[in-house]
Amino acid sequence: MNGMTQPTSDQHGIQRHVAFDWGGVFTIGTFDGRSTGRLAEHTGTDVESLRQSYFRHVRQLEVGAWSLPQFWDTVQAESGAALPYAEFEAMYLGSIHDNPPMYALLARLPRAVRVGLLSNNYPVVSDHLRARPEFGRFDALVFSNELGAKKPAPESFAALEAAMQCPANLVAFVDDVAENIDAANAAGFHAVLYHHDHHAAFEAELSAWLGMSF
């Protein structure tokens, strides 16, 4: 069958829903690793020096304490990289490597299923994602840089539950990091560990839990 049938509720007539992480779920590989590698190559900077500075300060982006230009100024000063901000931003956003099967799944989810996103993300990147047409399918978007807290903090999952407008136990949460899976389970979500190499098995598991056929 092409697409999904309308979901069936459980024996109590309760509809289930789903929320996702972004990096490593809607992308293949790590955004940070790809972006730092490209930046180091483009600027002729030692990649380990650039990554040390990047990962030392990236939390400031993730909790919204720094702007992206402020972050890049600091990384440049510490690593020796030199690139105008506008070029850095274009290269940074261009480091996103989409996972097409997950976007295809997103588009097929029936409207009866509420769809959320909980992502440890960065200023400018979160704006870029929100503006993408595919993201119009999400009913709830929670970005750490806007919330001021990042996974696996309990505040992150409390914010997701509030944004989803339904109890956590009715929401499957999909992430590629075991620590976040543990935190989601502790917050009452039905957590599902994801890897793009096993996408078909993931779809089967999600289908069974939502009560719909693909």
Give the tens place of pLDDT for each residue, 120-132.
Answer: 999 999 999 999 9
CA dist 185 and 67 (Å) reads: 32
Q: Are residues 108 and 180 in the same domain?
A: yes
Q: Provide the β-strand partners of residue 116.
A: 19, 140
Q: Give the pair of three-digit tokens for residue 135.
A: 């993201």
* 68-79 helix and 85-93 helix, angle to the nearest 10 degrees: 100
Segment 31-57, tens digit of pLDDT: 999 999 999 999 999 999 999 999 999
Secondary structure in 3-state letters for 103-124: HHHHHHCCCCCCEEEEECCCCC
The helix/strand/coil state of 17 is: strand
At 67, which CATH number? Answer: 1.10.150
Angstrom distances, CA of residue 68 to CA of 125, 184, 210: 9, 28, 38
Angstrom distances, CA of residue 66 to CA of 59, 62, 95, 145: 9, 9, 20, 9
Q: Are residues 147 and 177 in the same domain?
A: yes
Q: Are residues 47 and 114 in the same domain?
A: no
**What's residue 206's pLDDT?**
97
User: 52 lies in a domain?
Assistant: yes
Q: If you compute the radius of gyration of the chain from its CA atoms, what whole number of angstroms results? A: 18
> Residue-wise over 102-136: b if at least 16 C-beta within 10 A, else e?
beebbeebeeebbbbbbbbbbbbbbeebeeeeebe
Residues of the chain with pLDDT under 50: 1-11
**What's residue 174's pLDDT?**
98
Q: Are residues 114 and 167 in the same domain?
A: yes
**Total count of domains within the chain:** 2
Q: Are residues 35 and 23 in the same domain?
A: no
Q: Are residues 24 and 36 in the same domain?
A: no
Q: Are residues 133 and 63 in the same domain?
A: no
User: 9 lies in a domain?
Assistant: no
At 143, which CATH number? Answer: 3.40.50.1000
Q: Are residues 86 and 118 in the same domain?
A: no
Q: Are residues 35 and 24 in the same domain?
A: no
Do you find a cis peptide bond into 152, omega within 30 degrees of 0? yes
User: 145 lies in a domain?
Assistant: yes
Q: Are residues 148 and 205 in the same domain?
A: yes
**What's residue 7's pLDDT?**
40
Q: Give the pair of three-digit tokens for residue 52.
A: 């040390």
Q: Are residues 172 and 201 in the same domain?
A: yes
Range of the domain at 73: 31-93
Q: Are residues 148 and 184 in the same domain?
A: yes
User: 55 lies in a domain?
Assistant: yes
